[in-house]
Chain A
């Protein structure tokens, strides 16, 4: 509760107050530019070496510029791990979790933030603690239980688990947003004779669209990046997600440098894509993400 009370970061990205205009600080800019380049160096190295041939790498080392676009490393890695299937699995799992967890978060937050059901404070503390619990405190009973009900090594099991985990966070966040919901709107809806469900669907959800959008984005990206639970639950090749297939590969010593960077490039690509697609939402919602 206290956590989310920090003033929201709005899109009020107004340019810094133009105080006295001064000379451009070339020296500091140059130093900062070099530092940023160093931060980005791993990305550049991956990009450069993913398109080299093995002999090129052996001869010129990692720093030499590639002679041309050689996609052999990428294609060989793609077919070797059946990357298309992994992308499909990751998209299916992350997409389902994002949708289901948003729905549950909205329902929970409607009861807690707007309905203010009795014991609300304790429910909120419960959801907060549920957020904090490390996953290894859940994993064994979940693993055992999933085997018991025959859901082990299914994508459905992972979807169910992450829906619960993400919705605990979403509930916590949305409840504090909803508790500040303008009562006039709710009163007006009640005056019109709208029931609870209709009020939720036609008043609360449309008004909170942007927060819900941020939540959806976060749930998608977070689930996409998860490793621990998918690693334990998805053992068969056909069910694995992108991070699991990359993580498991670390054990194999057969990987050469160019295939390794090709695999890294294939892992980076979707992340960069999300970064570009969701950049607006991400910067707007980074405050919200903070609580996790």
Chain B
């Protein structure tokens, strides 16, 4: 036994035993199902009996399916609402709280305000759905009631039921849900910036905007990358919020790929077609992540 201590480091063999249980479970629950889904996407299958090979038919059908294109168009707007807007707002709020409020009113107040913005993040999305469905309900909802009370009754609308507004309403709710996450991340990042930098900038007479752009943005670049990639992926995967708020409707006004796949699996018994949608979405996410990581690595080198 003692001889093992002579090696500069412990031997490297035998560790793979520790990997076995986890690897086995992940293979069973993730790897095999994903491969199966890709396989099923080349077949026609109702979920009963044997799948029938039909080559690329499902993918050809996708190209001509308005619902498919609508779901990806809606996702683009949801990326704006879940990734782009929260990141920009988060940057602004983080700088405001950290750079303006904290030095003047104390870090405690800045943190309390931050917690307020973060609270929507901890809600289960099913609850988020209930709360907003009720607030936005056309007849007994709080928003329309409030509008009527203050004399703006003409603005009252069927926020989630009218195809003209539904997607924008969902987007607004998503901004509310997301805003706390970038804010917390960016404020944590700003604490890393060495105070000397700010002092030097103050001495140089740099304005608020210049300090923000040159120092803050530069230092929290890792956080910005992480927030952008994780929120973009979250937007691509979005299901729960759509399920509880609109079920993709009215029509396909708020349809998203994951809900579209769900419909084909469980409501229309088009398992092959649903698998093709899922496979496309998986590919988009993997490629996007790869590109993000490459851009980030290049950014770090620069």
Contact = CB atoms under 8 A, between A and B. Distances in A.
B54 interface: no
A138 B258 contact: no
Interface string B29-44: 1111110110010000
Interface in B19-69: 19, 21-23, 25-26, 28-34, 36-37, 40, 47
A142 B192 contact: no
A237 to B, nearest CB: 16
Contacts of B222: 5-7
Contacts of A274: 122
A228 B266 CA distance: 12
Given A15-B107, A22-B104, A268-B127, A134 B244 contact: no
Given A186-B10, A243-B127, A45 B142 contact: yes
Nearest to A5: B222
B80 interface: no
Nearest to A114: B15
B22 to A, nearest CB: 4
B106 to A, nearest CB: 8
Main secondary structure of the interface of A (DSSP, over half): helix
Contact of B258 (A40, A61, A136, A287): A136
A11 to B, nearest CB: 10
B243 A247 contact: yes
Given A7-B222, A123-B19, A227-B240, A29 B101 contact: yes
A17 B195 contact: yes
Q: How large is the interface on B (under 10, 10 to 19, 20 to 34, 35 or more residues)?
A: 35 or more
Contacts of B140: 57, 256-257
Determine the interface band of chain A, counting residues with CB < 8 A from chain B.
35 or more
Given A9-B188, A116-B12, A25 B100 contact: yes
Contacts of B293: 2-3
Contacts of A36: 113, 116-117
A110 B47 CA distance: 40
A141 B36 contact: yes
Given A271-B123, A291-B230, 17 more contacts: A15-B106, A15-B107, A17-B195, A45-B135, A110-B15, A130-B30, A134-B237, A140-B36, A144-B47, A160-B25, A164-B28, A196-B14, A247-B244, A257-B140, A268-B123, A268-B131, A290-B230
Interface of A: 2-3, 5-7, 9, 12-19, 21-25, 28-29, 32-33, 36, 39-40, 42-43, 45-46, 49, 57, 61-63, 104-105, 107-108, 110-112, 114-117, 123, 126-130, 132-145, 160-161, 163-165, 167-168, 171, 183, 186-187, 190-193, 196, 199-200, 221, 224-225, 227-228, 231-232, 242-244, 246-247, 249-250, 256-257, 260-261, 263-264, 267-268, 271-272, 274-275, 279, 282-283, 286-287, 290-292
Closest 5 CB pairs of A and B: A115-B15, A164-B29, A267-B127, A17-B195, A243-B126
21 contacts: A13-B107, A16-B107, A16-B110, A19-B198, A19-B199, A21-B103, A42-B131, A104-B22, A108-B18, A111-B16, A117-B12, A133-B282, A139-B262, A140-B275, A191-B5, A224-B124, A227-B244, A247-B244, A250-B130, A267-B124, A267-B126
